[in-house]
Chains A and B, each alone.
Chain A
Amino acid sequence: MLLLDLLLMLLIAYGFGFLYYGLYRNLSARVHGRFGPSLAQSFSDSIKLFVKEESTTFGWMFYLGPVIMASGAVLNVLFIPFLNQGESLQGLSSYGNLIVVLYLMVLGPLGNALGVGSSGNPFGVMGVTRGLTRLLALELPFYLAAIGVMIDAGSADFGIIMQAQSTQSNMFAHPLLFAAAFISFLGFMGKSPFDVVGAPQEVYSGPATEFSGKFLALLMSQSAMFSFAKLLLMVNLFWGGADHLGELVAKTFVLFVAATFIGSVYARFSTVQSVEFLIRIPTLLGIVGLALL
């Protein structure tokens, strides 16, 4: 039964991940005055890449990098509960908690960074360096918000955190913490202005530079699932989770559209600008939010 539940969770994350990926390309194209590709374009791209005849590799670590990254994404999906009640779609969330998930989110990218580094391509490692430098400031506001949420609920357990929001969601109870976390969330989703990591015009797509064929297909698939996991995390922490699948889809969709629109209209920050902005504005919001707890 648990196995079926886990598979269903992965399937939902995979399906909605790709749907949102397609929607993102569509919506941002409309904002930019273009038509954009069809909804299923990203999904068919990934399948096409997966069946390509040849994929370049630089050795075993390069081969394992995307596998570790994708395993990290799978774990994120499985350790965050989809619903705030009942026994279905809870996955392995009772075996972990918010702190575990916060660290699992970095595990995949760090594993992939090993693969990127082993290719010997300087653009790849430039992207990784940008990512890790940005990360040090990106995580801080999110951590502050998460700390506030945990202290408020008296636990790091997802079930208790969602239960604590049964009367009022954290978004309204702690708006400053939500604002801090949302700005970080934009960065986690790779949205502008915090998308300096894979900037194609500067670092040649950064960490993804050398990956092709099935490796790129795996990276695209995990990215879709990972994005869904991040949406899920925000919904659980600040919007009280979801009672049923319909509510989950509605909530993640609203959050996703908000992030996409904001990402479509902003220009890209440089690494230094990202760090300085993130340390100044959202961190300050987070600190004030914690002081008001």
Chain B
Amino acid sequence: MFHFEATLLAHLFFGLSLLVILPLLRRRDLVLHLLLLLSLGILFYASSLATLFIGWEMMGWSSYFILASSARVATLQRYILFNLGGAFALLGAIALLYGFMGSLEYRDIDASLLPPWAMNAIALLLFVAVFVKSGIIGLHDWVVDSYSEATPLFSAILSAILSKAGIYLFIVMFMVLLKEGATEPLLFEIMAWLGVITSIVATFKAISQDEMRRLLAYSSIAQIGYIITILALMQGFALEAALYHTLIHTLIKLLLFMNIASIIAITQKERFSELGGMIYHAPVLFLLLVIGIIALAGMPLLGGFNSKFLIYTALLEEKRALLLGAVMFSSASAFLYCYKLVYGIYLGQRPQEASLHVSPKSYYLPQLLSAALLVLLALLPSLPVGYLSVIGVELGFAPLDDSNLFILQSAFGSFHGGALMGAFGVAFVALLGLLQLAHSKAKKVKDPLDISYCGEVPRSETNLHFGYGMGYELHRISFIAPLLRHHSRVLWDRLSLIASDFSALLSSLYSLSAQHVTLLALLLFTLLLLGGQ
């Protein structure tokens, strides 16, 4: 039934869906979650555009109903409006394709038969669908609100897997079905820059957030931005880099959102300004989060670096220096929100009045699983390359070298994951031993307020945890401040005002007096008569 050329690609995406959703299944909304899983199966394993669209729509609606249990009405409206917009664009593209091909089956589609204008129109419509789902800047409002208002577990599903649906759609449409189509290269160029601009703006927005899940939502948008940029190159190695980053981002976001779900369960708080100092109450969660942020920052020694390395080398291979500079700039800026995430929750001083609960044990499983995989991928960076390479070959690209699992190869160089981890491990143990053996004894401070404070003594009511506000100085930097100030919601609000004015005008036609209606009917009749002549 499902035999089209990218079956392994479908396996990869559906496998990731299972990895994310299965550990998070709960009695609450169980049916809807299973429906969501089913819709993802239909979407990924579709062999005709009709099935693909049904999967796409089912995914949207089932997640809408899950979201409805916790989100505000305005958020739900935003969610459904944006997603319907995306779905209509997809439907438009499918309709156009059907018009030219006369079939909705994947195997019947031959994009080389499409005239350029139709191909470009289809590409534009598909871009809208992909961009809405990926939260490209300007179309991202629904992402941030729904991530922060969903139940903590559903936030993890939204970010870890549902955000990848757009990526899948792009790959299937542009790299499988419409590969031979004469799409204007400028469109992909615009897409590449939109991706990187999204990741830069979203990174700055993430830094200035006070709510944990809003920070992570913007971070997701930024990471998907990289994938969009790299996919726009339409090359085999870029596809593999994008898929590798998809895999890594799924693991990272599952880990981070579940970590935050645990913290919300323990403290009942969601804001950095109300948290802090949790490290000694929840050391395991702290370590898990540290693994998550080091991977998110793309540091070596954890899997996050592997996909960043592939993305960078793919851009180098294409000699896209400025695009790469922008991606690296966004990536370096992300260190700030990564640190804010760990500092705001676990470090600094603990608030006074806090009462703590216990986090459900089951929340640890997905975190431990993700962390273990991220460590394994750091040690064996080429582990998924064989699989990704086969996908690339299926889609008609050259295979990658995965002869040594410890070494990640690229056209611009390689690195040895085992050597990196080994060297760091030996240095760490040796230096720790040196510190332990030192004559000097470490004396632990008993009172957390016993700190160097410019010769003064802080009191318990002194606010020492104001570091949660890091990132506010970005508002004073001339080229960043406008990015933080201008909110795309203003644009959408204006659009909605224009729409409501227009609909008021239309509705006034229905509430006219009898004389006016008669006059209007006469006018229409005259026009018809004139037209008839």
Contact = CB atoms under 8 A, between A and B. Distances in A.
Interface string A51-87: 1111111111101101110110011001100000000
B439 A71 contact: no
Contact of A75 (B294, B335, B424, B470): B424
Interface centre among A119, A126, A133 (most CB of B within 10 A): A133
A213 B438 CA distance: 10
A255 interface: no
B440 A51 contact: yes
A143 B453 contact: no
A99 B452 contact: no
Interface stretch (A21-29, A144-152, A163-171, A231-239): A144-152
Given A55-B443, A125-B467, A139-B329, A110 B476 contact: no
Interface of B: 277, 279-280, 283, 286, 290, 294, 297-301, 305, 308-309, 312-313, 316, 319, 321-322, 324-325, 328-329, 332-333, 335-336, 338-339, 342-343, 346-349, 412-416, 419-420, 423-424, 427-428, 431-432, 434-435, 438-445, 448-449, 451-454, 464-467, 470-471, 473-474, 476-479
A271 interface: yes
B394 to A, nearest CB: 29
Given A68-B428, A92-B419, A103-B298, A276 B479 contact: yes
Given A95-B420, A114-B342, A120-B464, 7 more contacts: A55-B443, A99-B413, A106-B299, A110-B297, A125-B343, A128-B343, A214-B440
A271 B412 contact: no
A117 B343 contact: yes
Contact of B477 (A50, A51, A155, A276): A276
Interface of A: 50-61, 63-64, 66-68, 70-71, 74-75, 78-79, 92, 95-100, 103-104, 106-107, 110, 113-114, 117-123, 125-126, 128-129, 132-133, 135-136, 139-140, 143-144, 147-148, 150-151, 154-157, 204, 209-210, 213-215, 218, 271-272, 275-276, 279, 286-287, 290, 293
26 contacts: A54-B442, A55-B441, A55-B442, A58-B448, A59-B280, A61-B347, A63-B435, A66-B435, A67-B431, A75-B427, A95-B415, A97-B412, A106-B332, A107-B300, A110-B297, A117-B343, A136-B335, A139-B328, A150-B316, A151-B316, A154-B412, A215-B435, A272-B476, A286-B325, A290-B321, A290-B325
Contacts of A74: 423, 427, 431
A173 to B, nearest CB: 15
A102 to B, nearest CB: 8
B463 to A, nearest CB: 8
A177 B423 CA distance: 32
B299 A107 contact: yes
A143 B328 contact: yes
A96 B416 contact: yes
Given A59-B280, A110-B335, A156-B313, A100 B290 contact: no
B72 to A, nearest CB: 32
Contacts of B441: 53-55
B443 A59 contact: no
B423 A209 contact: no
B454 A125 contact: no
A89 to B, nearest CB: 16
A148 to B, nearest CB: 7
A100 B470 contact: no
3 tightest CB-CB pairs across the interface, nearest first? A117-B347, A125-B467, A95-B419
